Amino acid sequence: MGSLGDHAGGTGAGGGSVGGGGSGRGNTRVIAGRYRLEERLARGGMGVVWRATDHLLGRQVAVKELALDETLSESEAAQQRELTLREARAVAQLRHPHIIVVHDVVVQDEHPYVVMELIEGGSLAGRIARSGPLDAHAVARIGIDLLGALRTAHASGILHRDLKPANVLLETATDRVVLTDFGIAQVTGATTLTEVGSFVGSPEYTAPERMAGERTGPESDLWSLGALLVTALAGESPFRRDSIGGVLHAVIYEELRPPPAAAPLLPVVLGLLDRDPERRLDAAEAERLLRAYVETGRMPVVTRERPGRGGRAGLSGLPGLSGLPGLHGRPGRGGHTPTRHHPSTGPRTPAGGHPHIEPAGHPHAKPGGQGRAVLIAAALVAAVTGAGVSAVLLLARGGDGGGTPGTPGTSASVPPPSPSPTVSVTTKTPGPSTPEAPRGYRIAKDPEGFALAVPEGFRRRTDGPRVSYVSPGGTYRIGIKKSAPEPGGPLAAQRRAAAEGPRDNPGYRDGRVSETTRNGRPAALREFTWNGFDDAEGARRTVDLCWEEGGRMYSVWVSAPVAYAAQARRYFDAAVDTFVRR
């Protein structure tokens, strides 16, 4: 869900920045009689961000223009506009050096525009994508700045609810850290979009209690900060998995095993990532520990017990890294780690059956047990991943020896905005000649003899033997290639392609090839990052699955800027899941 921060900064490598330095197309429009839109800095899910001049005050600003989606109903369009306006109202209340400044909100021709300060620099996500993890001292300073921003927001009754590296800006000239994208912020007393059926947030950075649909508070933002700190230290979210189902399982069930890079800030990381919000490290204590580290190079020894449910050990239990408490004070459930494999190989729902999610590592969960089960994924998976399916994840919270993880046979149906079948979300499998388009997609019956689901609005292009379906503006590209089988099969073909990667893709890096299957057939998955088409857009991430079928070799890939890799992966999953020969 886009808002102030779902666009790239000046470097173009990461999302979440109201940043200058792009080289987008010029514009001559003037809105509200004073803001001249001059240069497109970036585009995102909800609009375009422009560098603009405020002629009244003679200063440079950033202006976000909300995109109109002609597929939305009148009520849905109004809801989308309200999201942006609410974001602006929430942020405009705040005054803090590490919170983005909103100057103005204007509506012209039913288009809302948000006028913000212009930050010359990219996002933390972009910095990590370009240069890799940051050192612990730099991460600690970022953490201190963000804690200050959050404490100010929380004191005003405002929750951010989408704290992640893409929404943290780094000003080039001053190294100032700026928190942006309050587009899903919840102002105390205001109706939230979750109350009308939409989940908002980024699953890898979403606290367990928010996933459980429970009332959330400042503690949920602090969980997100803990995940962000690990990402900055290690270069990857601690909850990143190959599917949304895997992410949900990791956040809610799996033991937290911090990477070695997190060791310098370990007490803060583990304290913020306590699954029990009542025991979670608070902002003041986290800031105290981080300041001590910045000043001395050492993290203070944490010896005190923190009160919690059931008499659990608090931060004094830090050496036991494999025993992070489970949700609501229950121990982690057996420490299962799900098998990671390509989404297209996931189990399928029998014809006519309802799709469901079961926690990985619990394939034989039995019904029953005491306590109530929390229904999560019906709204969560549908809204976040856009799965055009019903989905259920039951988290049992029974008494001693009571609840067990969710069981099949229960389902809830929530109409989602966009699809993403994954390994943990079983989807209805249409017949080979009649794939079904998830909501927001259409079935492209290609002249080359195949069909697959592509998002509405994507247009077909050809480049020799390759067929592409490209989003407006070229942000996302879904590619398909049909060719003769190659010696050694898909795995050998992908390894050869990886070896030639630097020649075919400038700046080729972070490449990996893994063996997998698709519908029982041998397949190979290749992933890599490269410099992209231009400096304004920045680095792109490509995911490519190759397999043999019907005497031919097929390759399906999706490419997008690094900042939009998560959405691109959802498009990829949908394309692979629905692909059929015709």
pLDDT value at residue 187: 59
Strand pairing partners for 37? Answer: 52
Instruction: For residues 278 and 309, give the distance between their C-alpha atoms in angstroms, rounded to a whole number.
Output: 8
Instruction: For residues 547 and 569, give the distance between their C-alpha atoms in angstroms, rounded to a whole number.
Output: 18
pLDDT value at residue 370: 30
Instruction: For residues 14 and 121, give the distance between their C-alpha atoms in angstroms, rounded to a whole number.
Output: 10
At 270 the three-state DSSP class reads: helix
- How does residue 14 score in pLDDT terms, banded at 50, 70 and 90? very low
pLDDT value at residue 339: 32
Instruction: For residues 179 and 164, give the distance between their C-alpha atoms in angstroms, rounded to a whole number.
Output: 9
Phi, psi of 4 (to 5 degrees): -60, -25
- For residues 538 and 329, which has the higher predicted lDDT (pLDDT)? 538
**Angle value at C-alpha 129, between 575 and 460, nearest 5 degrees:** 30
Looking at 54, 69, 145, 162, which residue is catalytic?
Answer: 162
Mean pLDDT for 283-291 is 96
Residue 25 · residue 38 · CB < 8 Å:
no
* HSE, side-chain direction, 13 A CA sphere, residue 238: 27
Q: Which domains occur in the chain, in start order?
A: 30-117 (3.30.200.20), 124-302+322-329 (1.10.510.10), 441-581 (3.40.1000.10)
Instruction: Name the range with the highest mean pLDDT among 19-33, 341-355, 434-448, 489-503.
Output: 489-503
Does pTM top 0.75 for this prediction? Answer: no
pLDDT at residue 500 greater than cutoff 60: yes
Instruction: For residues 405 and 343, give the distance between their C-alpha atoms in angstroms, rounded to a whole number.
Output: 22
- For residues 432 and 338, which has the higher predicted lDDT (pLDDT)? 432
- How does residue 49 score in pLDDT terms, banded at 50, 70 and 90? confident
pLDDT value at residue 401: 32
3-state helix, strand, coil in the chain (%, to 5): 30, 25, 45
Instruction: Name the range with the highest mean pLDDT among 12-26, 279-293, 404-418, 456-470.
Output: 279-293
pLDDT at residue 420 greater than cutoff 50: no
pLDDT at residue 207 greater than cutoff 80: yes
**Sign, Cα dihedral of 498, 499, 505, 507:** positive
pLDDT at residue 431 greater than cutoff 80: no
- For residues 463 and 557, which has the higher predicted lDDT (pLDDT)? 557
Q: SS3 for 364-387, per residue?
A: CCCCCCCCCEEECHHHHHHHHCCC
- How does residue 543 score in pLDDT terms, banded at 50, 70 and 90? very high
DSSP 8-state symbol, 422: B
pLDDT value at residue 480: 96
Give percent of the chain with pLDDT exceeding 90: 38
pLDDT value at residue 257: 83
Which pLDDT tens digit goes with each residue over 151-190? 999 998 888 888 999 889 999 888 899 998 775 555 554 4
**Sign, Cα dihedral of 201, 203, 205, 210:** positive
Mean pLDDT for 200-212 is 83
pLDDT value at residue 3: 37
pLDDT value at residue 186: 58
Instruction: For residues 386 and 104, give the distance between their C-alpha atoms in angstroms, rounded to a whole number.
Output: 32
Which pLDDT tens digit goes with each residue over 306-322? 444 333 333 333 333 33
At 99 the three-state DSSP class reads: strand
pLDDT value at residue 68: 63
> Over the chain, what is the mean pLDDT?
73
pLDDT at residue 387 greater than cutoff 50: no
Instruction: For residues 65 and 29, give the distance between their C-alpha atoms in angstroms, rounded to a whole number.
Output: 12
- How does residue 426 score in pLDDT terms, banded at 50, 70 and 90? very low
Instruction: Name the range with the highest mean pLDDT among 179-193, 226-240, 333-347.
Output: 226-240
Instruction: For residues 523 and 424, give the distance between their C-alpha atoms in angstroms, rounded to a whole number.
Output: 19
pLDDT value at residue 124: 93
- For residues 556 and 309, which has the higher predicted lDDT (pLDDT)? 556
pLDDT value at residue 512: 92
Type and span of the H or E element at 445? strand 441-446
- How does residue 122 score in pLDDT terms, banded at 50, 70 and 90? confident
Residues 6+ apart with CB under 8 A from 111: 65, 66, 68
- For residues 506 and 75, which has the higher predicted lDDT (pLDDT)? 506
Min mean pLDDT across 161-170, 218-227, 369-378, 509-518 is at: 369-378
CA distances from 482 to 212, 479, 490 (A): 43, 10, 12
pLDDT value at residue 376: 43
pLDDT at residue 23 greater than cutoff 50: no
Reported for 566-571, long-range contacts at CB under 8 A and 24+ positions apart, including other chains, are 566/202, 567/45, 567/476, 568/476, 568/541, 568/543, 569/420, 569/543, 570/244, 570/385, 570/386, 570/418, 570/419, 570/420, 571/420, 571/454, 571/455, 571/476, 571/478
Instruction: For residues 183 and 181, give the distance between their C-alpha atoms in angstroms, rounded to a whole number.
Output: 5
pLDDT at residue 379 greater than cutoff 90: no
Q: Could you tell me how many residues make up the chain?
A: 582
Annotation says 463 is catalytic: no
At 10 the three-state DSSP class reads: coil
Q: In 3D, which of 136, 159, 254, 165 has the Cα closest to residue 215?
A: 159
- How does residue 60 score in pLDDT terms, banded at 50, 70 and 90? very high
- For residues 361 and 81, which has the higher predicted lDDT (pLDDT)? 81
Give percent of the chain with pLDDT exceeding 70: 66
